[in-house]
Structure 1
Amino acid sequence: MDRMGPLDAAFLQIEDEQPGTSLAISSIAVFEGPVPSAGEFETALAGRLALIPRYRQEVRQVPFDLGPPVWVDAPDFDLAYHLRRTALPAPGGDRELAALMGRVMSQRLDRNRPLWEYWLVEGLAEDRWALISKVHHCMADGVSGTDLYRVVLDPGPEPGPAVPDDWHPRPEPSTAELTALAARDLATLPWRTTRALAGTARSPRALGRLLLTTARGTAALATALLPTRASSLTGPLSAQRRYAFARGRVEDVSAIRDTFGGTFNDVVMTAVTAGFRQLLISRGERPAPHVIRSLVPVSVRAPGEESIRDNRVSSMLADLPVDVADPLERLAAVRELFGRLKAEHEAEAGAVLVRLAGAEPFAPVASGMRLTWRLPQRSITTVTTNVPGPRAPLYALGRRCVEIVPYVPIASRLRVGVSMFTYAGRLTFGITGDYDTAADVWTLARGIEDSLDELAAAADLAADAAPEPGTAARLAPGADRRSSDASPAAQGASPPVSAQTRPSSPTRARS
């Protein structure tokens, strides 16, 4: 029996407080080759279950919130129940796959069973098939969810051997036993908290830095919690979801980063910002400052913790500069924004607050979370996640996985969310939208792709205009060739770059 952390438990409580909302995370893995039979896939997955204990565990609530929910072995685990099979209607393209994803992710997982499903999808164009992996957010975050692919799939075309498995469900605890164990933990909580604080205090300098960082980050988070400007992107949600996705290339993003400076995340967040700008304009709304404030999850996992099935994330709140029209100025604004957020230590402060919640009695923490979700939320417009995936191709029963497309759930009043994922040189963006109020999610997807094409074309022009090594034309002392100021496009030496000046990426969405 394992206890949930406060962040894991929060995702269950969000569902409880918002009827119809599903807090499952997901992704679509697309494969080449013939679709495996139901028996083949079930046998292959059964050979890996010993490596994923959570797949055979259920959630039990502790009475009176004396402790967080716990994971217990499912007494009647049935693997076949969790494996679904379906097919796309012709022509089996992106739109049909996205529509299926929206329907699958609109349905809540059954709380009386282990909280996951796999959907085997046949009928994709180009003789391909897909696997939709659906896992409740209380079980995994983006990083640990991605690690599940490394467990379920193979690193090469040759299928790996089954893992020895002698699993038998441990006896399920009774309600009285859960209550007694929670009461015991509650009684020992002050001692455990004091011991943890004593360990921290052994290094006064480290403790001082932690307190200063936490105070600065908390102040920054508090400032960002001011209400955003009103827009059609926030408001009540229905229970159903729409879905769309966009594509790019890792090499293009790397070239943009190397030419104009910043990080990989700066470039993809610039593309997302441009997509939201285009979405607002298409709706007849002005892309003003402080309209799009995004919750940006940040992984706080230590190296080697990727396989631990829980949530280890903090977050930053970023006001995306949708008011900036010029693509290179927008990239510079995003780069400055995230540089400032990192300097303010918002993510570190959030991580400390989550750890503190884990050292408090669960009942007041749970009550506080419920109250938070019952209040109208007006300080966040969207959520944007960026998760790095495997760099080398993966295989299922000898079939190569050609791309993985992510899905992020939305809740509260957030009508649109964006997730980003890199896999084997490919970059994908998954866009989740409320069914009733975000019928134009493909507009956001096209805006993201147009922005990447625009920035890549600007990087190509800058590379063509760069002086040859050894010539008299050199950068000024102290200048950085990667900075946007060194770009002819940024200086106005060339006309504005449009998406049409550069060939579309070969990985662009087919519709």
Structure 2
Amino acid sequence: MADHMSPLDAAFLDLEDEEPEVSMATASIAVFEGPAPATEEFLTAMGARLRLMPRYRQKARQVPFDLGSPVWVDDPAFDLTYHVRRVALAPPGDDPVLHERIGDIMSQRLDRARPLWEYWVIEGLSRGRWALLSKLHPCMVGGLSGTRLNRATFDESPAGRAEPPEEVWTPAPEPSTLSLAAGALRDLLLNPVEQAHMIGRALAAPRATIRCVADTVRGLIALTGTLRPASVSTLTGPLGGYRRYAVARGSLTDVEEIAHRADVTLNDVVLSAISGGFRHLLLQRGEEPHPRAVRSLVPVSVRARGEGGGRENRVSLMPAFLPVHVVDPVERLRVVHEHLAELEASGEAQAGEAMTALAGHEPFLPISWGLRLAAHLPQRHLVTVTTNVPWPREPLDLLGRRLLEILPYVPIALRLRTGVSICTYGDQVTIGVTGDYDSAPEVGPLARTIENELQALSLAYRPTPALSVVTPLRPKSARPRRVAKRPSTGTKAKAADGRPR
């Protein structure tokens, strides 16, 4: 049976088709201590690990006339050396030089006739470091979890892993165009039967079904109410094909301390700093930071109350206005926290998940045409996008080299001239800022302002010998949000003479 893409994954391909100059590829840039591995050493290691990532040997095939969603098929001409590139930075190899090269690489679209990924080994970083840029089309992410990719690519100790000999891979025969069309027609004929089975399962559990439908309808009504156009600004408009990139950094320990003392989440803290960055950007451009000036797709939790958790979050992307109109960083954090709490309580994220799942049971043709039509309509609802990708707290390695930091990259499209991606690894929060080369040249100053906003929050919530400067923030109307508490160290403040106060 054909391995079809989900409607959401297929939407990324359709969106790229409708914007010929735009690359939808996402990326993570792993910076290692040196020296960089030799080409043959790297190819041998990655070749042995491809068995853990079968999607990396597959390419996307369109179904004739969009009768079904695209399918994944083995690439009979797969060549690992085509997907692994190597480049050296010009001296001095510092952050600005690296960021410029990242922007150049990410401006180029992936070859749609081959598996949709590339590895770039980047040499010549300052202080003897090197980087591995993993470039991936988002349509592949649906079948590849971040945890699985990390385990397949990186090692959990400097000693590495005992790699089995590289297997002899034999691609499955590539289906013909006629067989793809015939399979899609068969699926269309069977679609009513599948829907009948789905209805039967729903009727077998009427209470759960009624509750799910009611929650979904309530979330859709709330979602419809939030999709009012954002205020007009220079943050949206036509895009070119070239990108700029910059990075902001912060201490994860500091962010956790702020979240603990303010009784908010880590996302709240970082989004508050990002809001301050966009406020500064608008003021620098001579524009009013209106309350509805910056609506972003932001990560919010979709974990049900009482559901077990652990360290991993279940998140969805929801449209939220960033409070760029608020001057004080502490007050801005409060507004972010309450707004996201209201979004979570509204059920909008769960409604989005339900509609995406439902689309998987509908004929693909009208879904594809609808998405392509929407891509040509004026888009005034969103101004930017903010993603959040948590990496392990424990250190990772690759071929005996320690992974020092991860730089995240998010693509931009649909008139969004900037995008922000958040990554946590070790004790560092890294924030990547993507900008259109011509219309968003201030990605560097925006990143620096985000760093400054994190520092301002850290100072505001820094413990003092007296009572805390600020009090915990609690939503006034939305339901309380579950926040992991950090245990107290029990250490008392000491006076200058060393005696406890």
TM-score by structure 1 length?
Answer: 0.88
Q: Is the 8 A contact 2:63 2:180 kept in 1?
A: yes
Q: Which residue of 1 aligns with 2:235?
A: 233
Aligned with residue 331 of structure 1, among 326, 330, 333: 333
Q: Secondary structure at the match of 1:10?
A: helix
Q: Which residue of 1 aligns with 2:217?
A: 215
Measured after TM superposition, the shift of residue 149 of structure 1 is 2.3
Measured after TM superposition, the shift of residue 147 of structure 1 is 3.6
Q: Secondary structure at the match of 2:358?
A: helix
Q: Is the 8 A contact 2:300 2:340 kept in 1?
A: no
Q: Which residue of 2 aligns with 1:482?
A: 472
Q: Which amino acid aligns with 2:441?
A: A
Aligned-residue Cα RMSD (Å) equals 2.1
How far apart, in 1, do the equivalents of 2:337 and 2:345 lie? Answer: 12
CA gap of 1:376–1:268, structure 2 versus 1, over 3 A, is same
How far apart, in 2, do the equivalents of 1:81 and 1:87 lie? Answer: 18
CA gap of 1:141–1:5, structure 2 versus 1, over 3 A, is closer
Aligned with residue 376 of structure 2, among 359, 374, 377: 374
How far apart, in 1, do the equivalents of 2:350 and 2:449 lie? Answer: 32
Q: Is the 8 A contact 1:320 1:334 kept in 2?
A: yes
Q: How does 1:338-353 map to 2 (within 5 A)?
A: 338-353=340-355
Count of residues in Structure 1 that have an aligned counterpart in Structure 2 = 466
Q: Is the 8 A contact 2:338 2:474 kept in 1?
A: no
Q: Which amino acid aligns with 2:448?
A: R
How far apart, in 1, do the equivalents of 2:18 and 2:266 lie? Answer: 36
Measured after TM superposition, the shift of residue 301 of structure 1 is 9.9
Mean Cα deviation higher: 119-128 or 159-168: 159-168
Q: Secondary structure at the match of 1:172?
A: coil
Measured after TM superposition, the shift of residue 183 of structure 1 is 0.8
CA gap of 1:243–1:284, structure 2 versus 1, over 3 A, is same
Measured after TM superposition, the shift of residue 481 of structure 1 is 6.1
Q: How does 1:16-95 map to 2 (within 5 A)?
A: 16-95=17-96
How far apart, in 2, do the equivalents of 1:122 and 1:283 lie? Answer: 36
The superposition leaves residues 126-159 of structure 1 with CA deviations (integer Å, 9 ceiling, x where unpaired) of 1000000000010016982454122111000012
How far apart, in 2, do the equivalents of 1:108 and 1:484 lie? Answer: 45
Q: Which residue of 2 aligns with 1:121?
A: 122
How far apart, in 2, do the equivalents of 1:299 and 1:143 lie? Answer: 20
Q: Secondary structure at the match of 1:114?
A: coil
How far apart, in 2, do the equivalents of 1:105 and 1:275 lie? Answer: 23
How far apart, in 2, do the equivalents of 1:126 and 1:330 lie? Answer: 38
Q: Secondary structure at the match of 1:92?
A: coil
Measured after TM superposition, the shift of residue 207 of structure 1 is 1.2
CA gap of 1:298–1:61, structure 2 versus 1, over 3 A, is farther
Q: Which residue of 2 aligns with 1:271?
A: 273
Q: Which residue of 2 aligns with 1:101?
A: 102
CA gap of 1:163–1:225, structure 2 versus 1, over 3 A, is farther
Q: Is the 8 A contact 1:259 1:484 kept in 2?
A: no
Measured after TM superposition, the shift of residue 209 of structure 1 is 1.7
How far apart, in 2, do the equivalents of 1:235 and 1:352 lie? Answer: 31
Q: Which amino acid aligns with 1:54?
A: R
The superposition leaves residues 337-359 of structure 1 with CA deviations (integer Å, 9 ceiling, x where unpaired) of 10000001111010111111111
Q: Which residue of 2 aligns with 1:494?
A: none
Q: Which amino acid aligns with 1:210?
A: C
Q: Is the 8 A contact 1:328 1:484 kept in 2?
A: no
Q: Which residue of 1 aligns with 2:478?
A: none
CA gap of 1:141–1:267, structure 2 versus 1, over 3 A, is farther
Q: Which residue of 2 aligns with 1:160?
A: 161
Q: Which amino acid aligns with 2:324?
A: V
Q: How does 1:367-406 map to 2 (within 5 A)?
A: 367-406=369-408
Q: Secondary structure at the match of 1:296?
A: strand
The superposition leaves residues 304-356 of structure 1 with CA deviations (integer Å, 9 ceiling, x where unpaired) of 9xxxxxxx974211011000000110000000010000001111010111111
The superposition leaves residues 449-489 of structure 1 with CA deviations (integer Å, 9 ceiling, x where unpaired) of 001100001111x443328xxxxxxx9xxxx963479xxxx
Q: Is the 8 A contact 1:142 1:387 kept in 2?
A: no
Q: Is the 8 A contact 2:323 2:335 kept in 1?
A: yes
CA gap of 1:258–1:216, structure 2 versus 1, over 3 A, is same
The superposition leaves residues 192-241 of structure 1 with CA deviations (integer Å, 9 ceiling, x where unpaired) of 12212221232222112211211121112111221110011000000111
Moved over 6 A (4+): 299-304
Q: Is the 8 A contact 2:302 2:344 kept in 1?
A: no
Q: Is the 8 A contact 1:275 1:451 kept in 2?
A: yes
Aligned with residue 201 of structure 1, among 200, 203, 206: 203
Q: Which residue of 2 aligns with 1:509?
A: none
Q: Is the 8 A contact 1:85 1:119 kept in 2?
A: yes
Q: Is the 8 A contact 1:300 1:351 kept in 2?
A: no
CA gap of 1:184–1:257, structure 2 versus 1, over 3 A, is same
Q: Is the 8 A contact 2:301 2:344 kept in 1?
A: no
Aligned with residue 429 of structure 2, among 421, 427, 430: 427
**Structure 1 unaligned residues grouped into runs of 5+:** 305-311, 468-474, 486-511
Q: Which residue of 2 aligns with 1:151?
A: 152
Q: Does 1:407 align with 2:404?
A: no
Q: Which amino acid aligns with 1:185?
A: D
